[in-house]
Structure 1
């Protein structure tokens, strides 16, 4: 966001091999290693431009905040709307295992947003910035590990075991997604219950 503090940090972390794209309604002064777009992320046209330009991202960071009215409930609701916009954009852009960070003002609607993020990521945390911890109601919701697995914890499915790994766990594939199944044998078809889902692989146990 203007004047580009977050973007400067992102550019340093991305290095020469990474790409950083920043969006703001105001003009952003040129920053080395950063592509900028002047637009409003609540506007479908702007979001579409970002999705087309970025295609796939490792992290989406939102520092969006509403124009303050002084009415806390209204300001809170607007901040949640902006954070949800960032979250929904992240779902379109993030690669498996990617992360999202979104600023929001504390209030009653944060719990629902946090729960929605938690469903799509390995876990979610609430972080209060050190600089504003004592004087501000703002916090950042951090979703780690975008989940794109074709299975969910608790699913009972039938899988074909394709091989046994070096550690002795059998390996099955579901739409290209790897599931480790201890105790199964290569070349067999078994029924399993999914016990844990990670961004790029999961675990299951044999169903007796």
Structure 2
């Protein structure tokens, strides 16, 4: 039995609206995307297979919000809300922000794909365009430390898009779920840990060393964000280059 038949038949037997439901299950199992009580936003949610999986995994105390240009048939979970909208329009983004609330979403997911033309370069470019829209929307909706999982087609523009994601998340992984067809070039970029720090890797700035950490590094503060700086002493004022950024602290070295 082919992979296509296996997951198609399983979806029918287990009540999922699409075989892609198993892709989200596998992404979650691999990358730890969904926890009970999470708020999840599904962009391009029709026909609703990912909504079903997300609803099961966030549990009764979680929230799942789905949006699509097409009508989404009601999902039989009380914690799921859907509406029609174009996420490139400000009114749709505003509605999403209202649904998510001030705390932000824990996860944004997107399984969107372009209408296929059969011309690979064009299909790839359109997939990156959709992925960027999802990425930009996620930056508006995610709370600190939130995650993003977005579908793309492999190709020449993928590296640049991944590099842009890597500036905003603690780390980024590429995952090809088993439920994806063997011949498909699709993969999912998973960004873990949205960074809300005021600095990014490669930034150079002047800082005052105000304390010493337990490992002997100097400690500086940038807009309340902690930087550990090697090879300096308390009381120094130095120009540093940021080498690594975590959600709550970073590391730098003198220039």
| TM category, shorter | 0.7 to 0.9
1:63 Cα deviation (Å)?
0.8
Asked if residue 105 in structure 1 is aligned to residue 153 in structure 2, the reply is yes
- TM-score, normalised with respect to structure 1: 0.83
What SS does structure 2 have at the residue aligned with 1:199? coil
What TM-score do the two structures reach when normalised by structure 2? 0.69
How big is the shift at 1:84?
0.9
* Pair 154,11 (structure 1): closer, same or farther in 2 beyond 3 Å: same
State which of 187, 190, 194 in structure 2 corresponds to 1:146: 194
1:27 counterpart (69, 72, 77): 72
Q: Secondary structure at the match of 1:150?
A: coil
Q: Deviations over 1:147-198 (max 9, x none)?
A: 2322233444333444445555543321111112356555x35315233211
Computed over aligned residues only, the root mean square deviation of the Cα atoms, in angstroms, reads 2.5
Given the superposition, is the C-alpha separation of residues 29 and 184 from structure 1 closer, same or farther in structure 2, using an over 3 Å criterion? Answer: same
Deviation at 1:91, TM superposition (A): 1.5
Aligned mates of 1:77, 1:196 — CA distance in 2:
31
Contact 2:71 2:83 in 1 (8 A): no
Could you tell me how far apart the structure 2 residues matched to 1:60 and 1:118 are?
Answer: 16
Q: Aligned in 2, Cα 1:161/1:41: closer, same or farther, shift over 3 Å?
A: same
Gaps of 5+ in 2: 1-44
Conserved? CA contact 1:3–1:29, under 8 Å: no
1:111-151 Cα shifts (integer Å, max 9, x gaps): 22222212222222221121124131211111222223222
Superposition deviation, residue 87 in structure 1: 0.6
Larger strand share, 1 or 2? 1
For residues 87-166 of structure 1, the aligned pairs below 5 Å read: 87-165=135-213
Which runs of no fewer than 5 residues in structure 1 stay unpaired? none
Paired with 1:185 and 1:53, the residues of 2 have a C-alpha distance of 48
Give the match for residue 98 of structure 2.
Answer: 52
